[in-house]
Structure 1
Amino acid sequence: MPRSKKRSKRGGQHVAVQPFSDEDVSVETLSHCSSFSDGASVPDEGETGDDATQEDLHYKLQEYIDGTMDKSAKTRQSALDSLKTALATKILYDFILERRMTITDGIERCLKKGKGDEQRAAASLACLLCIQLGSGLESEELFKSLKPIFRNILTDGTANVQARQAVRLSSPLSYSSAITVCCQLLFMVLDCVSAFLQSLSPQTTVLHTQALLAWALLLTICSGTEVRRLLNKHLPKLPSLLECDDVNMRIAAGETIALLFELARDLDAEFEYENLGMLCAMLSSLATDCNKHRAKTDKRKQRSVFRDVLRAVEEGDFQTETIRFGTERMYINSWVRKRMYDTFREYVGSGMNYHLQANEFIRDVFQLGPPLMVDSAALKAMKFSRFERHLYNAAVFKARTKARNKFRDKRIDVGEF
């Protein structure tokens, strides 16, 4: 890979900061599960090489951490992005536990000094840090350190929209791993949501959409009493958002309505909504939308979501999804579970399956139990290499072509009968 021109100061010298690349995460995901094995086991012959690889990784990560304190905005941005990639694709609990204060200082600096993209990356990194640290005191301390900065960005109408968007979605996820600060954060986000429910600005629709999704995430962990209060206060306002011009806002509003109905029925099986007929008519219209002025992809995505939302509101039904990872599978069988899964997936991206396998915090959220002990050597033996898959597919294609050619060569002349 070509070296990046971005540099950071380390030990008084300029050190090149290379982005965390695909090569750094090329180790098979399943092989990481072997790290949960007993530390007292006898080391293999190849363990020395693994230790060296781990050392190289830690050295790179330390460079990125140092880079978040650099004077150059480009270097800070590159360091944040590289740390995000690393935390999304690997379990680095022990490494970041020892350096969490330094990382927190770097995030704080980027949130204060940075603009737009840098602030957004810093807020996302804060969430990934909480995902790695889990639901202990460390996450709570991290959130308490950053909460004043989050609050300032949230309430500052002149702040960069991208930064406010990232912070609004980041705050509830940070809360998920710092449960003791629930009330303070809940009221902070609800104030923002209440404000935008009154009127929508086309320039900040994305920001409003993220705020609504953040609010919906908080609903999944509210007490029954709080859910009842929020249901009565906000459910009558949400249908107006279904008329928004932005497809993502319409979808976010629809999914939040379905989530509220699910929570309400969990509390009271006989729950009835006063304007159910009018709401169902709106949902049905969106589920069969054929307006020509809307893009085909938007209409396709919208119809698919609103068919599910309509079933949820009318019948209390949910279309179960199956998530497979390694040798396990998980069922997304409720709107609550879907909102949690979608939020985590937004942050860890392609690393979601790995985190479902190995991250104790995420496994605890989805009640998957402790990580399974998997023999990485056996898994590697079971897995085909890319070349072997290519040979197998070529052989199948050749056999299929031969079989078809036999029938093509023996065509029957209909005139003979």
Structure 2
Amino acid sequence: MPRTKKKNSKGGQHGHVQPFSDEDVSIETLSHCSSFSDGASVADEGGEVSEDTAQEDFQYKLKGFIDSTVDKSAKTRQGALDGLKTAMANRILYEFISERRMTITDSIERCLKKGKGEEQRAAASLACLLCIQLGSGIESEEVLKTLKPVFKNILADGSANIQARQAVATSLGLCTLVAEDDIVDVFSTMECFESLFTRSYAKGDGTFPSLNPQMSQLHTNALLSWALLLTICSGSQLKEVLRKHMPKLPGLLESEDVNMRIAAGETIALLFELARDMDAEFETENYNDLCDKLSALATDCNKHRAKNDKRKQRSVFRDVLKAVEDGDFQTETIRFGNERMTIDGWVRKRTYDAFREFVGSGMNYHLQANEFIRDVFELGPPMLVDSATMKAMKISRFERHLHNSAAFKARTKARSKFRDKRVDVGEF
């Protein structure tokens, strides 16, 4: 890639490349997005020139990060990955990233294969942010096509770094949601997650496997990604999932790990919501026993559990119990700029939580400016566009977006199949 400035000659490292600090994010990055929160942005005379300079400096810094993802120093690579992650979480960089998509993807693949622990975690997270930036279409599909075999190898490798496996279990789920173009392949990826979290199911004799906290977290992450992909399953696939997993999922409510208990409870609530969208009278075997378990967790007074764990658990399971017993959901309103969005069900909650895990504090900005995320949550086109984004909207971008929009609409149809009254999903 051509470089506009000379690199540091020592060890091939870039002396100017440093990870974004919190100050960089708030001052350098988010200043370009101010019009989304202010509602209006008026440049002073000469302001356009300084903004152009700031944009050039920002892009130069990003190019430095991309170059440094192949540095010999693991610390430098880690810093570069973190810098790119922070930038992508806090700004819309479609044009810049689209032009360098293959280079960034190659770097992620290399760091996943040759890196260790934290570097692999950062690379896995960056893959998700890359897909979020590119949206649903041919570009993100190609990213996933390259990285999916690497992700699945790490997931299946019991000798791989456990933190890397945990990160991949989360990242593969969201990348699949965004970029997978074949619902059969979605189900295949779900089976990879099943091969992990089902190891936490009760054994044939009714006892539960003894797992260390790190392995339990891997299983929890796999379960949450599996639940995320449930939201785009067809009716026939959902029917098979209910038959296969509903008898055993409630057993995870007895896990020693509070995160697994909560993940299992939220997944059960999600499954009930999806099933009742197809059959309003849906109930499962041992329904009363399940409600008793949920009620006990919603009022848990177990002295052996930490107070914070019990408080967090009781709050979640009160909502889960309402979902299973009455089909109710505690709605939540998300405000961003001059807009608001209602989280009105478990499908939307699981999807929102998955995106927010990667973009963090940048979620409100992405809800305003990211066309793909706005499509997912049915918010319509961005209402406000800052000047930097306007300059990036070239004709070539719209040409590419036409394809991406078509691909997204096709996928949306698949995701909403189970809600279509014309689809025959059979009896439970």
TM-score, scaled to structure 1? 0.83
Could you tell me how far 1:232 is from its partner in structure 2?
1.0
- In terms of mean alpha carbon deviation, does 194-203 or 211-220 score higher? 194-203
Q: Structure 1 residue 148: deviation in Å?
A: 1.3
Change (3 A) 1:206 1:9: farther
Higher relative contact order (CA 8 A, sep 6+): 2
Deviation at 1:181, TM superposition (A): 3.9
- Whether 2:71 is the aligned partner of 1:60: answer no
Residue 235 of structure 1 aligns with which residue? 246
* Cα RMSD (Å): 2.5
> Cα deviations across residues 34-63 of structure 1 (Å, max 9, x unaligned)?
9x99xxxx9963111110000000000011
Per the alignment, in what secondary structure is the counterpart of residue 331 of structure 1?
A: strand
Say which of 299, 322, 325 aligns to 2:310.
299
Say whether 1:268 aligns with 2:279: yes
Q: Residue type of the partner of 2:275?
A: A
State the SS of the aligned residue for 2:100.
helix
Measured against aligned partners, the alpha-carbon deviations of 1:365-417 in whole angstroms (never above 9, x if no partner) come to 000000002689xxxxxxxxxxxxxxxxxxxxxxxxxxxxxxxxxxxxxxxxx
**Partner SS, residue 334 of structure 2:** strand
Equivalent residue number for residue 145 of structure 2? 144
Q: 1:3-46 CA deviation, whole Å, 9 max, x = no partner?
A: xxxx9779967433211123332234752549x99xxxx99631
In the alignment, the residues of structure 1 paired with residue 98 and residue 133 of structure 2 have an alpha-carbon distance, to the nearest angstrom, of 9
Distance 1:156 1:13, change over 3 A: closer
Tell whether the 8 Å contact from 2:13 to 2:71 is kept in structure 1 after alignment.
no
Aligned with 2:288 (options 267, 272, 277): 277
Quick check: which has more Rg, 1 or 2?
A: 1
Aligned pairs (5 A) from 1:263-412: 263-373=274-384
Aligned mates of 1:287, 1:247 — CA distance in 2: 13
- Does the CA contact (< 8 Å) of 2:231 and 2:347 recur in 1? yes
The change in CA–CA distance for 1:232 and 1:43 in structure 2 (over 3 A counts) is: farther
2:143 is matched by which residue type in structure 1?
Answer: L
Q: 2:225 aligns with which of 190, 209, 214?
A: 214
Match of 2:15 in 1: 15
Task: Kindly report structure 1 stretches of 4+ aligned residues shifted beyond 3 Å.
Answer: 7-14, 27-30, 42-45
Per mean C-alpha deviation after superposition, the further-off stretch among 84-93 and 191-200 is: 191-200
Distance 2:10 2:141 in 1: 30
In structure 1, runs of 5+ residues without a counterpart are 1-6, 377-417
Stretch deviating more after TM superposition (356-365 or 164-173): 164-173
Whether contact under 8 Å (1:168, 1:189) holds in the other structure is: no
Deviation at 1:184, TM superposition (A): 2.2
CA 1:372–1:9: 2 relative to 1, 3 Å: farther
Percent of residue pairs bearing the same amino acid type: 68
Aligned residue in 1 for 2:394 = none
CA distance in 1, matches of 2:386, 2:229: 37
Q: Which runs of 5+ in 2 are unaligned?
A: 1-6, 201-208, 388-428
Q: Which amino acid aligns with 2:120?
A: Q
Structure 1 counterpart of 2:258: 247
One-letter amino acid of the structure 1 residue matched with residue 356 of structure 2: R
**1:203-243 Cα deviation digits (max 9, x unpaired):** 40000000000000000111111111111111111011000
Amino acid at match of 2:248: K
**Letter of the aligned partner of 1:279 in structure 2?**
L
> Residue 24 of structure 1 aligns with which residue?
24
* Secondary structure in structure 1 of the residue aligned to 2:174: helix
